[in-house]
Structure 1
Amino acid sequence: MTDSLDSLTEDQKLAMVRGLAAGTLIERMGIEFVEMSKERIVATMPVAGNTQPYGLLHGGASVVLAETLGSFGAVLHAGPERVAVGIEINATHHRAARSGLVTGVATVLSAGNTMVSYEIVVTDEDGKRCCTSRLTCLIRDLPPGANGAAG
């Protein structure tokens, strides 16, 4: 990662990500970033509004949270002159969440020059694991004239 992102404080990184989230699925799902570094990204998401017809947290919502966290971690790892694009995600749903907030914690598993993988654990308000996911992103040079973004 280049010095320009490394020099930002965690609060500055969080503010930057919140700005990027405006008007996106991240905002629509109510995802709120809490902690951000290349090694660990934490965010919360409400269950309300992200349920399936039985009133349980939709499995796809857990995957959106997981991919959001892992993608932003990959972007931080890649740095501003490179882009991170998701190439594989999987998820195991362990238990249902019915209300409150879920918390996703993405932890880097492997980070190299061309690929980065994160494990993302989603837990309910009691700290019980609802979902375990793994995301792998490809790191590429930024095309001329493009801006870096999570993908």
Structure 2
Amino acid sequence: MSKYENAIKLMEEFCGNGKDNVVALATISLSPNDAGNPRPAVRMVDAYYEDGVFYISSASWKNKTLEIEKNNEVSICGLDLFTAHGIAENLGWVKDEKNAEIRAKMKKIFPWFDDHGGEESPDSIVLRITLTEGRITDNEKKYGEWQYKVDFVNKTAK
């Protein structure tokens, strides 16, 4: 197996297979610092991972969604497992027909979704984070490497 294939296998083991992942999602805040410069905003979110993409349930009025509308470049990380950059996209209302498959997975993966997903409101949306690059750490060195620098776009790893 190639380094890239090993790295992707690790991501699937860490985050995939229908797991509810609590990850940190960083965006660029809409309010600058005192010097007028952009500043980061980070929060913990529930997400599920599949094929290089994280899916997150949110609301259209939340800061993260508004920040993503302004700048869709984000960072995401899982404690001691991976750090990555990605492109975020608002897929719209969770009950929109185009989101039916994602919604079904969210209902299955997130035990809180039926009670707290607010899916009857059109403000209840799906965010998709498509990973572009990152580092995956394998503390057990299962596949020989401790860390993989991954280019998800070109499907390579060093």
Place the TM-score, normalised by the shorter chain, in its bin: 0.3 to 0.5
TM-score (norm 1): 0.33
Larger Rg: 2
TM-score (norm 2): 0.32
